[in-house]
Structures are given as structure tokens and as C-alpha cells.
Amino acid sequence: MTAIGDHVPTFALPDTEGITHEPGDAPATVVVFTCNHCPYALAWHDRIVAVARDYADHGVRVLAINSNDAERYPRDSPQAMSARVERGDFDSVPYLRDESQEVARAYDAKTTPDVFVLDANGLLRYRGAPDADHDYPAQNAAFVRAALDAVLAGRDPDQPQTPPVGCSIKWKT
Amino acid sequence: MSVELLFWDGCPSHPRALAELRAAMADLGLDPSTIAVREIHTQAEATLEQFVGSPTIRIDGVDVQPPVQEPFGLTCRVYHRRDGLISPTPDPADVRDALRTTAQTATTERR
């Protein structure tokens, strides 16, 4: 399991158009495990997209990954992912498919959402929930924003870890 | 009046849903201790109980936010709150209204 301060595993995953994305070449990267069917992921979704928009000028990259078993949860199929992207739900955030679930396992992702903030060197600087309450948009992904502000300023985040909250990752059986 | 909360343990939303259901019942002068809390363990149980996700709250057998063409299964349920936001739990106002309507109907029928 990757601990705060450790190098996170690298990966290369395709988005809904088949273009491969990987972390790196950014002062900070947000990797968020998410999906289509989970109310927690959906409730927090716009806040994550807003982070991507608000931090784009700082060079921050946000990568959304869906690792769920689409056979048991058809709403997480590649087709359903593409439909959300085409609808504009993800704005500029690439929505990546982790078909083998290897990336979720390498990150030890637990839930959707589960957020990981990496610094420019690929070190894990924050892991957990986007903010304190999925039901209150005014929370504004405060945990992620605080972590990014710290990383961009060359500081350690005051709160490097919070418990991830959401639906369990749907592992293949 | 029967009040049921059905849940699947793979979804963490049922404690909040139960707390909000208890609060709504107490607000309306109903006894929260009468809530029947039942866990759904398997897909077969979900199908048998017509369980479309966790949590599900039924009052006299009627869902507080009746699902539309949702498959039965072990999953977290997506609710839409009155302000349009998505939530893992039903809007407490919907729960309160459903309880009030059912209680009023029962009172009228007894007269």
C-alpha cells in the first residue's frame, strides 16, 4: 500500500476516446477513482471538476479513473462512461478506464470517490475524501484544494489523509 | 403504520438515513422504535424484496421515493433531493411528507 510521502505507482490508461493518459509533467496531479452508479461519486463530481477548472492555470492535472466491474454494474460500462463525457459531465477531465483493475489495486483504492494528490515528483501528498460532506456543495472539495495549495507552495498538507467515503470499488470476482 | 428501512452493508449510507428517519418520526410524534431495520445480504434477497439499492425506506410498503425502472440489486441507491442535488439518502422532507401522508390516511380511515 502506498503511504503518504511514497512514490505512487505509475500507470497509463485510455480515456473514452482511446487516448492514453498518465500522471507526470505537472506540478501536482489529482487522481480520483470514481464511477457512474455511485451516489457519493455523483454527489461530489461537480466539485472535482471545479477543482480541475480552478487549478488548470497552475498546471494541475486531474485524472478520473473508473475501475469498477462493468459486468456486474453495467452503468459503469465504457459506453456509459462515453455517454457522460459526451454529455459534458467531465469538462476537461479525462475519464479513464481501468479494465484490469490493476491501477485501483496498485493504489489500494477503496471507494468511489477516493482521491490521491501527487506532487511533481510523483510522491503521494494527500489521500482520502474530497471534503467533509458529500451533501453540502459549499464544502467545495476543501480537502483537495488545501492539499493542492500546500503542494503548489512547496509545503506539506496540514491534513495529508482522511478516510475515503463512498461506495466500495466493485472488484471482479 | 409500518416503517421499514432496508439496507445493504456494502453501502455506508444507512446510518445517516436511519438517523434522519428516526428524527422525522420523532418530529411527527411517531415512535422511532417501531422502525423495522432489515439487511439485504444477497442478490437473490434483493430480487425477492424488490430492493433497488441501499437504503430503501418503505412506509406501509410504499417507497418514500418510488424508483423508476431501477434494477434490483446490491448497490448504493441514488436519490435526488428537492434542491436537485444527488445524494445517497432521501431528502428528509420527502421522508417526513411520506410519513405525514400515511399517518393522516390511517387516521382518516379509522374514523
A171 CA: distance to closest CA in chain B (Å):
12
> Residue length, chain A?
173
The answer to whether B88 contacts A43, with C-beta atoms less than 8 Å apart, is yes
Bin B106: left if φ > 0, else alpha if -120 < ψ < 50, else beta.
Answer: alpha
Cβ-based neighbours of A109, under 8 Å, separated by 6 or more: A33, A67, A103, A164, A169
B98 CA: distance to closest CA in chain A (Å):
21
CB A67, CB A169: distance < 8 Å: yes
Closest to B1 in 3D by CA, of B101, B94, B92: B101
For B87, the closest of A39, A73, A168 (CB atoms) is A39
| Separation CA B78–CA B104 (nearest Å) | 28
How confident is the model over A1-20, as a mean pLDDT? 94
Domains of chain B: 3-110 (3.40.30)
End-to-end CA distance of chain B: 16
Q: What is the pTM of this model?
A: 0.93
Question: Which residues of B fall within a CB distance of 8 Å from A38?
Answer: 76, 78
CB pairs under 8 A between A and B: 37
**CATH class of residue range A24-163:** alpha beta
Tell whether A35 is within 8 A of chain B (Cβ). no
Choose the weakest-confidence range: A32-36, A90-94, B22-26, B107-111.
B107-111
For the stretch B100-109, pLDDT in tens is 999 888 777 6
Would you state the pLDDT for residue B105?
Answer: 81
For the stretch A95-123, pLDDT in tens is 999 999 999 999 999 999 999 999 999 99
Closest to B57 in 3D by CA, of B85, B88, B26: B88
pLDDT at A1 over 80: no
How confident is the model over A51-63, as a mean pLDDT? 98
Would you state the pLDDT for residue B111?
Answer: 64
Q: Which ipTM did the prediction report?
A: 0.88
pLDDT at A7 over 80: yes
Would you state the pLDDT for residue B110?
Answer: 66
Tell whether A135 is within 8 A of chain B (Cβ). yes
Residue A32: its H or E element: strand A28-33
Tell whether A134 is within 8 A of chain B (Cβ). yes
Domain extents for chain A?
A: 24-163
